[in-house]
């Protein structure tokens, strides 16, 4: 799926459902398979990033990165780094406040 199809509500819903962190990846800028999908994603995710603090979440729980299909090592390193960061932050504080409201 193109990163341009990732809507802000998908990210917020993931946190609402209990995700401790959300990482969105896409093709490098200028190398989008769908011409400008990654630019659309970049605009949307900037808005998401600005709203994260309003939800009471740490800034590092959300991340947008550009990784091509040929960058396996970069992708693996990114996954490891992001996972370790999320482990350091601990469980999603938003989820623990709203457990009763989750379906």
The predicted-structure confidence for 61-86, as pLDDT tens digits, reads as follows 999 999 998 999 999 999 999 999 99
pLDDT tens track for 13-55: 999 999 999 999 999 998 988 889 999 999 999 999 999 988 8
Q: What is the pLDDT of residue 41?
A: 95
Strands 62-66, 22-26: pairing kind: parallel
Q: What percent of the chain is helix, strand and coil (3-state, nearest 5)?
A: 60, 10, 30
Report domain extents, the chain. 3-101
Rg (CA), the chain: 14
CB 29 within 8 A of CB 19: no
Contact 62, 49 (CB under 8 A): yes
């Amino acid at each position: 799926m193109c990163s341009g199809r990732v809507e802000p509500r998908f990210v917020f819903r993931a946190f609402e459902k209990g995700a401790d962190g959300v990482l969105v990846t896409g093709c490098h800028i200028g190398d989008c398979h769908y011409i400008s999908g990654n630019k659309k994603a970049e605009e949307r995710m900037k808005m998401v990033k600005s709203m994260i603090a309003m939800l009471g979440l740490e800034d590092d729980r959300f991340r947008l990165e550009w990784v091509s299909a040929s960058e396996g090592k970069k992708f693996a390193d990114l996954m490891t780094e992001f996972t370790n960061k999320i482990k350091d932050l601990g469980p999603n504080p938003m989820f623990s406040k709203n457990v009763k409201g989750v379906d």
